[in-house]
Amino acid sequence: MKRNVGPTDKLIRLILAFVLLFSVWFGWIPGTTAQVVVLILALIFALTSFLNYCPLYMLFGFNTNKTG
């Protein structure tokens, strides 16, 4: 698994994950289904940030990691 998420992209993904998580925590997202979807998106953003790998980037040929 080749890393394809760069440091700036990683930071943006972490910030988005926390914003989505807090939006559910504070009740800004109405409805249980919408909250579950937002939590799954937050999990995906956090995982791709920690792994430095995004499967969609691989699929479309994107790479924001300039170190390798």
Flag whether 46 is in a domain: yes
Model confidence at 67, pLDDT cuts 50, 70, 90, reads confident
Tell me, rounded to whole angstroms, the distance of Cα 64 from its chain centroid.
14
pLDDT at residue 55 in the model = 94
pLDDT of residue 4 exceeding 70, the answer is yes
Q: Residue 16 sits in which domain range? A: 7-56
Q: Write out pLDDT tens, residues 17-66.
A: 999 999 999 999 999 999 999 999 999 999 999 999 999 999 999 999 98
Q: What is the pTM of this model?
A: 0.89
Residue 68 has pLDDT above 60, yes or no: no
Q: What six digits make up the tokens of 68?
A: 């390798």
**Domain for residue 11, yes or no?**
yes
| 40 found inside a domain | yes
- Tokens standing for 13? 């993904």
Report the domain count for the chain: 1
